[in-house]
Structure 1
Amino acid sequence: MAEKEMVMDVHERPKLNKWLLLSIQHLFAMFGSTILVPFLTGLSPAVALISSGAGTLAYILITRGKIPAYLGSSFAFIAPILAASAASGPAGAMIGSFMAGIVYGLVAMLIAFIGTDWLMKILPPVVVGPVIIVIGLGLAPTAIDMAMNENGAYNGTFMMTALVTLSVTVIASIYFKGFFSLVPILIGIVSGYVFALFQGIVDTTGIKEEWAEITGAASVGDFFTAVFQMPEFIIPFVDYAPAEVFSMQILFIMGPVALVTIAEHIGDQMVLSKVAGRNFLKEPGLHRSILGDGIATMIGSVLGGPPNTTYGENIGVLSITRVFSIFVVAGAAVLAIFFGFIGIITAAISSVPSPVMGGVSILLFGIIASNGLRMLTDSKIDLGDNRNLVIASVIMVIGVGGAFIEITDEVQIAGMALSAIVGVLLNLVLPQKEKAGQGEELFHNEEAPEKKRNIS
């Protein structure tokens, strides 16, 4: 099959009018997923937008402007953020996110000095795949509760709204073409929101108040004050002292998840390399890419946003448009930061009813679990091999079943973190007859053919 021609290379800068439109495409592609994570975890959607934009700009700098990747809120950290918040409040979750970023940095340092073989040994697909399945299935009760319950009781209107939202999202993801096929989440949320308005379950008080302030501004200064508002940042050393909320339990909650998301990050980089016709794992290097992801996560944590990760939706935009300009991605990041300071946008996001987000989440969380299954099949993991079967089975039951180990009265290793640790230990301890079927190609199939530049 013939390769599509490249429209714009990584370091090419588009004209201003095209630049804005191309950046808005990326903004729309990431918007639905990025605001869903803070919605589910009780964080500020506005801060999530700002931290995703700031994190993406930092990523671009760290990777020397050589990787056109956008970073948004990570779904893998939803359950850990909820657990850390329950243990030490939102501030504790931010400390945990910061420590996850440190894990990224340590892994990047090790890769820079000794390569990737050690990472393959502790995180092969037979471990990572089932843990990703656990992430998706562990979030399933949250999606169903949002979809059909109001204050813990069944609500038929909620359920109908969730099903309409889910149906539109599914139709958009399967039947829509071109750019619209890349934003099914956003389409589903907007459609579900409109349906919810007709059902009378949308509280538009905040939007009306914001609009009244804007239209009632008596001067230019009042207008800007009404439009631009300071989001609810959670700033370390200002709003809280890290020493007061840090605990070993938070470390055990967030740390192991970072290792799993690092494996996902590597997969994204391999896909992006194939799409762009370059080997980003070699140049600028996997260590820089992982470090950039970690710094973006740390930036999010010091602002009060969720951890960040590279977004498949935006890789899809690159694949379709063939525009790999780093300036376009940076433009989307700047727009995200700008949107985060607009009060009426924040009010509109906050007004989205839970069944709309629940309907979208049913699909999204299922896709997360399915991606874990896909990793197993793509890596040709042989589940007929008792060793592989044992590792996968134990990980999934421990993770989904909610098992935990109590180290002290205040420290527990539970759920996804425990399943990841157990999976790593089983993989290292259980004898392995041969390496075939263990998915070594995850790291070693790094070559990506160079494509000829063809600028149109």
Structure 2
Amino acid sequence: MTKKDYIDVHETPAIQKLIPLSLQHLFAMFGSTVLVPLLTGLDVSVALLTSGIGTLLFLLITRGKLPNYLGSSFAFIGPIITVSASQGVGTAMLGCFIAGLVYLVVALIVKLAGINWLNRLLPPVLIASIIIVIGLSLSGVAVGWALNDPLSDPAKPAYSLAAVEVAFVTLAMTVVANLFFRGFLSVLPVLMGMVVGYAYTYIRHPEWIDFKSIAAAPLFITPSMWVKEHFITGQVLDAFTSPASWMAALIIAPVAFVTLAEHIGHLLVTANIMNRDLMRDPGLHRSIAGDGVAVIFASFLGGPPSTTYGENMGVLAMTKVYSRMVIAGAACFAILFAFVGKIGAFLMTIPKPVLGGVTIVLFGIIAVQGMRMYVEHNIDFSHKRNMVVAAIVLVTGIGGFKLDFHEITFSNFIAHLTIDNIAMATFLGIVLHAVLPNKDVAFGNNGNQNEQLHKQAS
């Protein structure tokens, strides 16, 4: 790859390019980020604010070397709903705060212990398989948005040819822009796909767009009005002083270990996209700490916990624009849109089939990055060991294999904890690699494990 092929992390595009590039990242993550607060009963505007500020904090802590956007984490949905229903949203946010502390403790351990042990646990065949899982495990969300009537009950989605039509137009525009456009337009495929998809929806299916909500929304929300309507910091502080709240909140803390596995996978995806060792520079400890600080900040304001986002990694891979200023711009737009009522309302009207059209290619590109890693490391699948490890990780991860613990009791509070498919697939892969013989073949390139570790350390 030559310098002309990409915009590096330290480079800043001209302002007329920076704005649309930043909006592209924001639009790509918008659907998933606002879905979490809608499902958990949290505030969408707060989610946008904490997402934006959390991303800026993440960029600061990682020294601007990780161009990742932080959006709402899906892993916390169940625990937040459960704790909020019985103990109140303040207690749920206290639990998210504790999860953020877990991130910081793990970051400190990683800083002290280094990452050589992690390199031994995660050979290329396993890393590549996890990357594929991260992309394809999200495929059901993208396809669901593309196939179903956006006006139907989310609990009972109804198949719609009209939705397929809109998703196809959006997807086609995204692909055409990416492959055939030249110059600056070639790095805006997602934004162009969504604009064309939205315009097509307006012409063909205007009933899907809630224009009344846009008209009813205020143009600007003053800080005093915003705090009064959106902040729940008082409820969080009340929970801090209640021992019973702390006991109930502890049920959310273990979720941090689930999202940490996802976080490491996302960092490996980003490293593969950028073709550099991000585990060492800026370092896994900084990446985890940045995410943890963002989670802690969001919990105080009443926003959903944050995580790095697959949609944005897909945009990085498709456009090869890694500029931290583009990500920072997307964060600033998210903060701005939290206070501009009509823009926020407009973004909420983006039909799900439009989002489905762009995420089909974004999630697929993440999976392709894993396949590319198989090739670059010369993983030998004629060896049964590699076949078994990859097969089990792929099927359990993509198939949705998970563990549900339904009766966990803390101080007469009963809830359930779910270890999701990505964490389970990662765990199974690590265990298999640890117990099976002939570990060298898992590192590819003629199975020379020491050579691989030396290259990763240099």
Partners of 2:136 and 2:398 within 8 A in 1: yes
Where does residue 183 of structure 1 map in the other structure?
188
Partners of 1:52 and 1:308 within 8 A in 2: no
1:293-308 → structure 2 map (5 Å cutoff): 293-303=291-301, 304-308=303-307
Q: Distance in 2 between matches of 1:283 and 1:68?
A: 8
* 2:249 matches 1:246: yes
Q: Which amino acid aligns with 1:437?
A: F
Q: Distance in 1 between matches of 2:161 and 2:95?
A: 38
Q: Which amino acid aligns with 1:177?
A: R
Where does residue 338 of structure 2 map in the other structure?
340
Partners of 2:314 and 2:363 within 8 A in 1: no
Q: TM-score, normalised by structure 1?
A: 0.75
Partners of 2:188 and 2:319 within 8 A in 1: no
Q: What is the total number of aligned residue pairs between the two structures? A: 421
- Give the direction of change, closer, same or farther, for the CA distance of 1:5–1:351 in structure 2 (3 Å limit): closer
Where does residue 435 of structure 2 map in the other structure?
429
1:41-52 → structure 2 map (5 Å cutoff): 41-43=36-38, 46-52=45-51
- Give the direction of change, closer, same or farther, for the CA distance of 1:328–1:53 in structure 2 (3 Å limit): same
* 2:70 matches 1:73: yes
Q: Distance in 1 between matches of 2:209 and 2:71?
A: 27
Where does residue 113 of structure 2 map in the other structure?
114
Q: Which amino acid aligns with 1:420?
A: T
Q: Distance in 2 between matches of 1:283 and 1:61?
A: 14
- Give the direction of change, closer, same or farther, for the CA distance of 1:331–1:129 in structure 2 (3 Å limit): closer
Partners of 1:131 and 1:260 within 8 A in 2: no
Q: TM-score, normalised by structure 2?
A: 0.74
SS in structure 2 at match of 1:237: helix
* 2:160 matches 1:155: yes
State which of 266, 275, 283 in structure 2 corresponds to 1:264. Answer: 266
Q: CA offsets per residue over residues 187-223 of structure 1, 9 Å max, x none? A: 222211111112222111111112xx54xxxxxxxx7
Q: Distance in 2 between matches of 1:403 and 1:8?
A: 37
After superposing the two structures, state which structure 1 stretch, 148-157 or 100-109, moved more.
Answer: 100-109
Partners of 1:55 and 1:295 within 8 A in 2: yes
Aligned-residue offset at 1:346: 0.8
- Give the direction of change, closer, same or farther, for the CA distance of 1:342–1:371 in structure 2 (3 Å limit): same
After superposing the two structures, state which structure 1 stretch, 428-437 or 224-233, moved more.
Answer: 224-233
Aligned-residue offset at 1:365: 2.6
* 2:180 matches 1:193: no
SS in structure 1 at match of 2:137: helix
Q: Distance in 1 between matches of 2:35 and 2:453?
A: 33
Q: Distance in 2 between matches of 1:174 and 1:245?
A: 52
State which of 209, 219, 223 in structure 1 corresponds to 2:216. Answer: 209
Partners of 2:222 and 2:339 within 8 A in 1: no
- Give the direction of change, closer, same or farther, for the CA distance of 1:4–1:336 in structure 2 (3 Å limit): same
1:25-64 → structure 2 map (5 Å cutoff): 25-43=20-38, 46-63=45-62
Aligned-residue offset at 1:332: 5.4
SS in structure 1 at match of 2:285: helix
1:264-343 → structure 2 map (5 Å cutoff): 264-266=266-268, 268=270, 285-303=283-301, 304-309=303-308, 311-312=312-313, 330=328, 333-343=331-341
Where does residue 125 of structure 1 map in the other structure?
124
**Unaligned regions of 5+ residues in structure 2, if any?**
408-415
**Unaligned regions of 5+ residues in structure 1, if any?**
215-222, 449-456
Q: CA offsets per residue over residues 234-291 of structure 1, 9 Å max, x none? A: 657159676476365x5555523422422432553576586xxxx8766655533442
Where does residue 454 of structure 1 map in the other structure?
none
- Give the direction of change, closer, same or farther, for the CA distance of 1:186–1:245 in structure 2 (3 Å limit): farther
After superposing the two structures, state which structure 1 stretch, 359-368 or 192-201, moved more.
Answer: 359-368
State which of 168, 171, 177 in structure 2 corresponds to 1:172. Answer: 177
Aligned-residue offset at 1:83: 4.6
- Give the direction of change, closer, same or farther, for the CA distance of 1:255–1:358 in structure 2 (3 Å limit): same
Q: Distance in 2 between matches of 1:61 and 1:401?
A: 36
Q: Which amino acid aligns with 1:370?
A: V
Partners of 2:107 and 2:286 within 8 A in 1: yes
Task: Please provide the CA RMSD for this pair.
Answer: 4.2
* 2:418 matches 1:416: no
Where does residue 133 of structure 2 map in the other structure?
134
Partners of 1:253 and 1:417 within 8 A in 2: no
